Amino acid sequence: MKYTTLPNSDVKVSKICLGTMTFGQQNTEAEGHAQMDYAHEKGINFFDTAEMYSVPAREETYGSTEKIIGSWFKKTGKRDEVILASKIAGPNANFGYMRENLDFSPASLTHALDASLTRLQTDYIDLYQLHWPERKTNFFGQRGFKSQEDAWEDNIQAVLETLDGFIKQGKIKHIGLSNETPWGIMRFLEEAKYKNLPKIKTIQNPYSLLNRLFENGSAEICTREQVGLLAYSPMAFGVLSGKFLTGESHPNARLSLFPQFSRYNSAQSTQATKMYQDIAIKNGLTLTELSLAFVAQQSFVTSTIIGATSLDQLKENCNTIHVTLSEEILKAIDEVQALIPDPAP
């Protein structure tokens, strides 16, 4: 395994982070435990979850992923060997069953954090993230910002003050954002800098060969301000494995089970995937190796979040850690991006 540190900290994290959002829906508790056992054995010390998981979010499975991680901690006694990340769901998640107010008020933050700590069977979370912005901004499938009627009032200082209180209590150690825009990243950094409040260490956003929108603004911010990207969906829900190009049926694949996740189903995504597969084959690589190595090589990426529904998938993904793409391959990738830019926004 390869390691780095969370930016502006001495926290050592693996360059592959175990994504767990399938635990409790597509994966049973036993399967989740098996994945965590394997990941730990292979040197992955970074696990990511969220209060809303498993995904797709449903009231019946709310918090199930955190519970499975918590039972693994209890069974193995390895909590202190894992850098644990979790998230509070923001108001734009539209999941009213979680609590009365889906906002980042002190009461909501306290309720969400304490509930996560209970499910996770731990007294601290290493990296606590805000899963969605409170304000209305761009969402999946939307390339850029569109002005919307929005009652949000800037409360970023108050949010950071509440999170600072959690840090001082020892409930969390570091903070991050998720599904945020360049403007949001800079506002959190600005408040931290001028009000002597905790600085965000990471931003968790989608990033893959089919979605490189992070490079437009956010990548420069992360580089210059020392914030690390935790790249999720690097395999585009399995599309970048190439399995959907064969014409075979994959009834247990996420895109088959949950057709509402359609962002990677476009004709442009299929065309780009075929072109990336050609590059991989030409260079003696699998499409999975090409896809994950591309993400891992970006200087602004701290860790790549790998989610798998089987141990075989997890093993294949972990084995890509030592793949390095040449400048020639990277140039070929950029040529496809220029022809079909970001087909899955």
Residue 41 near residue 62 (C-beta atoms within 8 A)? no
3-state SS class at 228? strand
CA pair distance 228, 231, nearest whole angstrom = 9
Residue 344 near residue 266 (C-beta atoms within 8 A)? yes
CA pair distance 337, 209, nearest whole angstrom = 8
Asked if 264 is an active-site residue, the reply is no
Residue 49 near residue 66 (C-beta atoms within 8 A)? yes
* Token duo for residue 164: 């600072």
| Closest by Cα among 61, 129, 134 to 93 | 134
Cis peptide before 303 (omega within 30 of 0): no
* Token duo for residue 309: 């529904």
CA pair distance 84, 286, nearest whole angstrom = 30
Instruction: Tell me which of 3, 38, 53, 97 is the catalytic residue.
Output: 53
**Hey, which residues are catalytic here?**
53
